[in-house]
Amino acid sequence: MREFIDLRSDTVTRPTPAMRQAMFEAEVGDDVYHEDPSVNRLEALAAEIVGKEAAVFVPTGTMGNQSAIRAHTQRGDEVIVHERSHIVLYEVGGVAQLSGCVTRTISTPNGILDWNRIEPLVRGESDHFNGVALIAVENTHNILGGHVYPQELLNEICDQAHERGIPVHMDGARIFNAATYLGTPPREVAEKVDSVMFCLSKGLGAPVGSMLAGSREFIERARMARKVFGGSMRQAGVLAAAGIVALENSPAGLPRDHKNARFIAESLARVPGISIDPTDVQTNIVIFDVEGTGMTGREVSAKLRERGVLSNAVAPYRMRMLTHYDVTREQCERAMEVMTEVCAGVQVAVGD
Ligand SMILES: *Cc1c(COP(=O)(O)O)cnc(C)c1O
């Protein structure tokens, strides 16, 4: 099979030889009895890294978010969340299906919320509604371009929410990318949030799994949610072993991914018909507009694929490229040559 340059997502990374070796050698037990030493180690390590009392290993980021929502809320409660968040757009309406809650959404251009926008939506219980039981932030924000919360902004949201007795959950699928951008450890990024989910299976390269962390009491409730959602696993240590390697080895590679993303953004900015502000690219996600090429995102994406480059259209004229450890700088350079070819070809055809 031909080797594609795969810029669709950082989920496409495959386990490293060190991860496979660790999986092969993993000590295992029945995790539902808390007897899997590898899972126990992973959970302790994850909790320590994000500065929380406890953590639980979940099969997917979606289950991590949904378990958190379930553990923080009662049926009929309101959850404040960005309109373009993963929780709203890509989790099959789980907030409603699994927790019986209603979302109250806020729209901003870059995916970042601030207290000024949240405050007007906050309300307590009355005869007509349960009121707001949870605020969920996404850091980095995926679909609007990998933006990172300025730490003061996030801390203010948490302080204000806590004054009103409302917990804050962070969908930190890419918290390590946020931490890398900010130059601070993940525990500072997550310091004030009550719960945080992060993925092992994205930029960190593990084959499967995410972590949900929070207080010991919260994690007990989240474990019950994981159970009812069907996510309690048995000898999950084979997966946890890869997760441990991911946590120990992978964050060091993220600065390279961010540099590659910036390189892609700067190259795209020079392609006629593509619009993007490279200074807007903070982490490993590059979103750009292709309307000026006269092609839709799907059309551009199909032409790139014919030439060995995989990418995703995320809206009629918007595309997304992600960098990760399975993409080298040479491959980014090649992908940008291909992009220039694809767009140049069309402009000639249009001009004829
Ligand atoms: C990928 C992602 C998730 C969910 O992770 P899965 O493992 O694919 O379920 C949640 N939130 C964000 C922001 C993501 O990018």
Find the distance separating the first CA and the last CA of the chain, reported in whole Å.
37
Q: What is the mean pLDDT of the chain?
A: 96
Q: Tell me if 258 CB under 6 Å of ligand 1.
A: no
As given in the structure block, the two tokens for residue 315 are: 């809206």
Q: Tell me if 207 CB under 6 Å of ligand 1.
A: no
Q: Tell me if 210 CB under 6 Å of ligand 1.
A: yes
CA 177 to ligand 1 centroid distance, Å:
14
Question: Does the pLDDT at position 30 exceed 90?
Answer: yes
Q: How far is 30 from 232, CA to CA, in rounded Å?
A: 10
Q: How far is 83 from 104, CA to CA, in rounded Å?
A: 8
Question: Does the pLDDT at position 82 exceed 80?
Answer: yes
- Residues 317-350 have pLDDT tens digits of 999 999 999 999 999 999 999 999 999 866 544 4
Q: Tell me if 199 CB under 6 Å of ligand 1.
A: yes
Question: Does the pLDDT at position 2 exceed 70?
Answer: no
Q: How far is 121 from 116, CA to CA, in rounded Å?
A: 10
As a whole-number percent, the residues of the chain with pLDDT over 70 amount to 97
Tell me which of 11, 86, 137, 195 to substitute to probe ligand 1's pocket, judged by most ligand atoms within 8 Å of the beta carbon.
86
Tell me which of 137, 171, 195 to substitute to probe ligand 1's pocket, judged by most ligand atoms within 8 Å of the beta carbon.
171
- Residues 290-313 have pLDDT tens digits of 999 999 999 999 999 999 999 999
Coil, helix or strand at residue 123? coil
Tell me which of 10, 63, 65, 90 to substitute to probe ligand 1's pocket, judged by most ligand atoms within 8 Å of the beta carbon.
90
Q: How far is 295 from 315, CA to CA, in rounded Å?
A: 12
Q: Tell me if 67 CB under 6 Å of ligand 1.
A: no
Q: Tell me if 10 CB under 6 Å of ligand 1.
A: no
Q: How far is 92 from 119, CA to CA, in rounded Å?
A: 27
Q: What is the mean pLDDT of residues 179-186?
A: 98
Coil, helix or strand at residue 115? helix
Using DSSP bridges, classify how beta strands 168-171 and 132-138 pair: parallel, antiparallel or unpaired: parallel
As given in the structure block, the two tokens for residue 225 are: 């949610």
Q: Could you identify the atom of ligand 1 that is nearest to the CA of residue 61?
A: 5
Nearest one of 226, 232, 233, 231 to 71, comparing CA atoms: 226
Q: Tell me if 43 CB under 6 Å of ligand 1.
A: no
* Amino acid code (one letter) for 253: G
- Residues 117-167 have pLDDT tens digits of 999 999 988 899 999 999 999 999 999 999 999 999 999 999 999 999 999
pLDDT value at position 188? 98
CA 96 to ligand 1 centroid distance, Å:
18
